[in-house]
Structures are given as structure tokens and as C-alpha cells.
Chains A and B, each alone.
Chain A
Amino acid sequence: MAEVLVYVDHVDGAVRKPTLELLTLARRIGEPVAVHLGPGADTAAATLAEHGAVKVLTADAPEFADYLVAPKVDALQAAYEAVSPAAVLLPSSTEGKEIGARLAVRIGSGIITDAVDLEAGDEGPVATQSVFAASYTTKSRITTGTPVITVKPNSAAPEAAPAAGTVEQLAVTVAETSKGTKVVSRTPRESTGRPDLTEAAIVVSGGRGVNGAENFPVIEALADSLGAAVGASRAAVDAGWYPHTNQVGQTGKSVSPQLYIAAGISGAIQHRAGMQTSKTIVAINKDAEAPIFDLVDYGVVGDLFEVVPALTDEVKARKG
């Protein structure tokens, strides 16, 4: 069976959930071969094997951390040459997309970004995309070269499928031309203890209606009662009430959770672009005419400062 390269997104060997989703999708089109760059391959290998990786190709070099993107492209290209895969899958993160794009140029292949589903087709893998702020669903494929496809988080439920996961060292030479962009410093994001926004099963977001940084704990309390991640609209972020890293929307994170709760958010097209594919959508807004209500499965017209704390109490009571 044809092999499919899966680029591993991880933090020091802790594999992030979107990669497990990629492995699941990869099995629909071939045998997944994981490419793990940087430290922690031994830790990662067990998880990758459990989710279907027949092989784990790994390389570690200081250049991966010292320079932006290009050295990782050199490594992925080496893996591509070693394996001759039927497709290359990467997560739709900023970095995943950029690595995929540069690889596509080098190997003379087309690229599809932000797939939300993937299937085997007669003429190669067929990718589903959700475009124009999720108002259209398209099916596309790559006609030239080896398909390079980036997949959005939450596009598939990770399935266990134990495989060998044999770890093999990958020989990588980082080209001089790949050392153009120096990473002078790196400050890791502080963990909030809450689930990652893009991976969370439930997201609770607050908008301008939250009316101040001092009120965001109302949103956080609901999120914590549900074990959810916290999101924010750009209006809330621009006002300085919540960090930009929590922004949901076209220029923020794109989320696709099982449940999305929007409180005090009107539902502008750019916000919808980042959350419209959520499975169940709930909104709390005091304006019955707010466009967000066009999207909801359940909406409450009311003051979020009444509704949200009452809901939080109710959730806590029910969870005991």
C-alpha cells in the first residue's frame, strides 16, 4: 500500500491532537509514515504508533529551532525523497501551511490548504474545504505532483490503530540558503491550564458585550465549568480585554468544536469565518436582531451578565 507522509506537530515529543487526526485521515489513503523533527521522537513514537504510524522518520538539528521554517522544509523534503509518498499531510497551522507550501514548490506539486475532510478518490485524495466563511463546501484534488494537503484541527476523530511505528533516523542536510531567517528569541506562551483553543471540544467566547477585561472572568467561569477553552471576538481583543492568541475568526484562530457558545458577540462575517463549522452553536445576546442568531441551534435573548452566571451555576449543580 502507498505510504503517506504525516508531518508531526509536537512540543518536545508531546504530540498535538491535530497530528493524531492526520494519522486517522492518512489511513484512508495509505500507510502513514510520521515525520518527527526536533527533540522527543522516542516519546512521540509510542503515540504515533498507537495511531497507525508504520514508521517514524526523525531528525533533530539546532537549525530547526534557530531559523524559521526553511530547515524543516529541507528535512521534510529528505523524507519525501526517502519514501516517495502518495501524499503529504500537514496540520493547518501557520507553520504547517508554510512548510507545505515551500515543499510544494520544490517537488513541483499543487497544494490544498485548510481541508476539513479527506477521502481516497479514483484520481488521488479528495479534500473537502469549507470556504467563504463556511458558506460553501468544495471538493478538490491535486492534479500535478504529489498531493500536499494541510488539514484543519477537529476534522476527524482520532482513532487508535496500532502499527509498528519503527523509529528511523532521517539524514538531513540543512542548506545554507535555508538559514536566512534567524529566530533571535523565542518566548513560549504561558499555559492557562485550559484546553487549547483550536483543539477544544467546547469553546466559550466573549465579545464587546462583555464590556471590559474585568468582566471576562464571567466567561472564564462558564468555560471552566464545562472544561472549555476561552475565545474572544476581535472587538474584545482590540479593546485589550483578552489576548490576541484567543481571538476567534478570520484573522484569529479558526475553531470547529462540538459546542461553541458566543456571549455578547454580534456575529460579523469575519467572526463567523472562524467558528461557523462548529457542530452546535449557542449564543447569548441582548439584541434579538444580532446576526449571530441566524447561526444558532439555541439562542438566548438576554443580558449575558444574568444568563451566563445562571448557566454556570446550573452546569456546576448538574455536574455535582
Chain B
Amino acid sequence: MSLRIVVCVKYVPDATGDRHFAEDLTVDRDDVDGLLSELDEYAVEQALQIKEAADDDAEITVLTVGPEDASDALRKALSMGADKGVHVEDDDLHGTDALGTSLVLAKAIEKTGYDLVVCGMASTDGTMGVLPALLAERLGVPQVTQLSEVSVEGGTVKGRRDGDTATEQLEASLPAVVSVTDQSGEARYPSFKGIMAAKKKPVESLDLDDLDIEADEVGLAGAWTKVDEAAERPARTAGTIVKDEGEGGKQLAEFLAGQKFI
């Protein structure tokens, strides 16, 4: 039987742009272009490699929860080589927090059917890095997370986790949720052929009704966390900058001594 892989991909504001909060203290998505979170490209890449290792006897579905424009993230993933997309889109999703997002993703993953869920290590906007663990808990399957190497063979997923104090080799039976780091291997660029093919690949659109989720379980109103304040960090007061003309090291030592670091 063929391996069903679901890759979770997030549509995020470009980190190199000037990101802001909107008046309701959610991310302002209008003032900066969005894109597929770069860290999710690694997830798509690993899914593609797992499929290739399975002699292509696998199907990759890319899944996103996000506004209309989030379909851009799906297209990018499809152009890299994923087979089909699922887009959960609903006005009531605006302002959903991590618990809510994990609920929606889990229901969509169950509806799609899966043997393996692949996520990025963290999004580049919220950067929580908890969604994969939340999904494993909700789906009741093993979490094999923060992997710098991953492989699947005969119903078992194996991976290497470079933790804070040790490197661990992990193993779990499918179905499972994995997340991969940016150490897992560079993501491929979509080819022209891939970009053309992506246009014809199916993308299923789902709303909260389709997933039996009530509007008050998600969105700003359903969030279990509340942002009360978001203040732009004041610009740093301009520091002292000197040009090294032979005395740079000494001048710097002087500064550090003045600050009591030496």
C-alpha cells in the first residue's frame, strides 16, 4: 500500500520585510508580502526524498491553514513536486492561536488520511516550534521531532535529533508526526516543468463546517491566549562606530572596560 504523507506548510509574512501588527493585534498580512515559510521548504524536501526512497510509491499532500493568499504556499510546494493540496480557509480562522491551529490541522489531517505527517521545525513568524508536538498529542501518534536526518522504511520512521545536551537516534512506527530542521538538507528549487505541472494539480478547499469545528473553537474569539499589547521596539540609539586605524582593538577594550565587562 502506498505511503500517505501530509506536509504542513505555513504561509507567513516575508521575514526580510518590515513586519507589523494590525489594530486587532494580529499579524498585519497586508503590508508585507507572504510566502511559504522557508523552514517548511525543508519539510517538503524531506517528504519528496521519502517518496523517492519508496520508489515513488507514496503520495504527498500539502496542507495549509490560512487566508486566501496562503494558496501561494501550496503552489510553491506543489511546484517542488508534492502531489496535491488541501487549503483550510475560513473567515472565522482569523487570529487563531497555536492550540486552535493544531485542532484544525489535526482534523484536516484525519480527514485527508495519513501515515506520516511532516512539519517544519518552526514557522518563521510565530517561531513557537510546538505545532508538531501539539499534533502528535491530538492525533495520538508518536512525535519524532526536530530531526536533522530522517528516513522511512517498512513502516518505521527513523531520525536524528540534535538536542541541547545530546544527539539522539529516534525510531517510531507509523503513523507518526515528524518535524525537520534546516540541517536536514537544502530544499530543491522548483523546475520550470514543476511550476507548470503545479498549475494542474488538485487543491481541495475546506472550511470549518467540513471539519466539524465550531466557529468559537478557533479565531480571535476562540483563542486561549490574548495579546494585550504590541509595541514596536524603539530604534536603538545610534552606537559609537570607530574606524580601525591601528587602535581599534584598544578603543574597543576601553569601551568594554567602561561598561565593566573587563
Contact = CB atoms under 8 A, between A and B. Distances in A.
Given A185-B169, A314-B250, A94 B129 contact: yes
Interface stretch (B43-51, B73-81, B200-208, B239-247): B239-247
A140 B176 CA distance: 32
Given A288-B243, A307-B249, A251 B182 contact: yes
A145 B98 CA distance: 14
Given A94-B164, A111-B130, A284 B170 contact: no
A138 to B, nearest CB: 5
Contact of B262 (A114, A308, A315): A315
B114 to A, nearest CB: 15
A296 B239 contact: yes
Interface stretch (B1-9, B53-61, B84-92, B224-232): B224-232
Contact of A97 (B129, B140, B171): B129
Given A180-B173, A202-B261, A306-B248, A102 B133 contact: yes
A288 B169 CA distance: 45
B29 interface: no
A309 B253 CA distance: 11
A299 B243 CA distance: 8
A27 interface: no
Most central of A131, A135, A142, A259 by chain B CB within 10 Å: A131
Interface string B133-157: 1101110111111101000000000
A258 B261 contact: yes
B21 interface: yes
B102 interface: yes
A15 interface: no
A264 B103 CA distance: 44
B225 A139 contact: no
Given A258-B261, A280-B259, A297-B239, A68 B168 contact: yes
A299 to B, nearest CB: 4
Contacts, number: 256
Most central of B138, B183, B257 by chain A CB within 10 Å: B183
B115 interface: no
Interface string A103-127: 0111001111110000000000010
Interface in A224-259: 226, 244-245, 250-251, 258-259
Contact of A94 (B25, B146, B225, B241): B146
A28 to B, nearest CB: 17
B36 to A, nearest CB: 16
Given A98-B143, A101-B134, A142-B225, A299 B121 contact: no
B197 interface: no
B239 to A, nearest CB: 4
Contact of A101 (B137, B170, B225, B251): B137
Interface in B188-218: none
B133 A307 contact: no
Nearest to A225: B262
B181 interface: yes
Given A143-B225, A299-B240, A301-B244, A310 B130 contact: no
A182 B170 contact: yes
A270 interface: yes
A81 interface: no
Contact of A126 (B136, B228, B256): B228
Given A95-B163, A251-B181, A311-B253, A180 B259 contact: no
Interface stretch (A29-37, A47-55, A186-194): A186-194
A173 interface: no
A306 B244 contact: yes
Contact of B240 (A111, A182, A244, A297): A297
B164 A181 contact: no
B104 to A, nearest CB: 14
B111 interface: no
A133 interface: yes
A237 B2 CA distance: 37
A189 B252 contact: no
30 contacts: A93-B164, A95-B163, A97-B130, A98-B145, A101-B130, A101-B137, A111-B99, A131-B230, A137-B230, A181-B172, A182-B170, A186-B169, A189-B167, A250-B127, A281-B239, A288-B243, A293-B239, A296-B241, A299-B239, A300-B242, A300-B243, A300-B249, A302-B244, A310-B249, A311-B250, A311-B252, A313-B249, A314-B249, A318-B262, A319-B262
Interface of A: 11, 68-70, 73, 93-95, 97-98, 100-102, 104-106, 109-114, 126, 130-145, 177, 180-189, 198, 202, 226, 244-245, 250-251, 258-259, 269-270, 273, 280-282, 284, 288, 293-303, 306-315, 318-319
- Nearest first, the 4 A-B pairs at minimum CB distance are A310-B249, A302-B244, A110-B224, A180-B142
